[in-house]
Chains A and B, each alone.
Chain A
């Protein structure tokens, strides 16, 4: 069984500030972890993924995430927020041998000018 918890349904940060979106997972098998971004009226776009290689994963648009097994976490960060980062972000988990993704409920990121 797999599950994902995203802490904070809404996060606001000032332009230029650090972005931190939290994701904790539960998985009975070694997990594959994903962050997706959804802009208004669009589908989901893959930001980055962890598939048991390097624990620090770099993605598109300057985002990165660190897999911490001891904390069962996969938090998403970006050093300096840009107005174009305003969107909804989803964390998702699958497990080796199980190709279904289980999604969190999403975090809406607002950037304050």
Chain B
């Protein structure tokens, strides 16, 4: 069955370190998204991609970057981790035109920055 996976599931890092969170989908979806989930804020969009070599900033992109070199993967990099980036991160994908835009979510990565 097609799925979307994230790794690691839990990560503890120190302030100032670079961290990369992996997202891999086997849906063959064009669109991929990264969100962070914080209490009282719901899900907020960090970055998204509509295809290989395409990336776009979401509403909370400062301090994060992504790159899309193939259809299956969209890694999220925290350039210099800050305590404010302690959160749960979700990756999602969708099929694009004709798919009614529903997104499929991974299980999440809980990141703690100390």
Residues of A at the B interface (CB closer than 8 Å) are 9, 32, 34, 36, 41-46, 49, 51, 90, 94, 99-101, 103-106
The complex places the Cα of A104 from the Cα of B42 at a distance, in Å, of: 6
Closest A residue, CB atoms, query B95: A99
Interface size on B, residues (CB 8 A): 25
Choose the segment among B11-19, B63-71, B72-80, B99-107 that binds chain A (4+ C-beta atoms closer than 8 Å): B99-107
Whether B100 contacts A43 by the Cβ 8 Å rule is no
Known contacts: A42-B107, A43-B90, A99-B94. The answer to whether A90 contacts B43 by CB under 8 A is yes
Closest B residue, CB atoms, query A91: B42
DSSP majority for the A interface? strand
Whether B94 contacts A43 by the Cβ 8 Å rule is no
- CB of A84, distance to nearest CB on chain B (Å): 19
Total number of A-B contacts with CB less than 8 angstroms? 49
Q: Let me know if B45 is at the binding interface, CB within 8 A.
A: yes
B41: which A residues are within 8 A, CB to CB?
Answer: 105
- List 4 other contacts, CB 8 Å, given A94-B101, A99-B96, A100-B58: A43-B106, A45-B105, A46-B104, A101-B33
- CB of B108, distance to nearest CB on chain A (Å): 5
B108: which A residues are within 8 A, CB to CB?
Answer: 41-43
Which one of B43, B90, B101 contacts A99 once the chains associate, using CB atoms below 8 Å?
B101
Closest B residue, CB atoms, query A98: B101
Whether B42 contacts A105 by the Cβ 8 Å rule is yes
B48: which A residues are within 8 A, CB to CB?
Answer: 100
Identify 13 residue pairs between A and B in the complex whose beta-carbon atoms are under 8 Å apart, listed by A's number: A9-B40, A32-B101, A42-B107, A43-B107, A44-B105, A49-B100, A90-B43, A99-B31, A100-B58, A101-B33, A101-B103, A103-B43, A105-B41
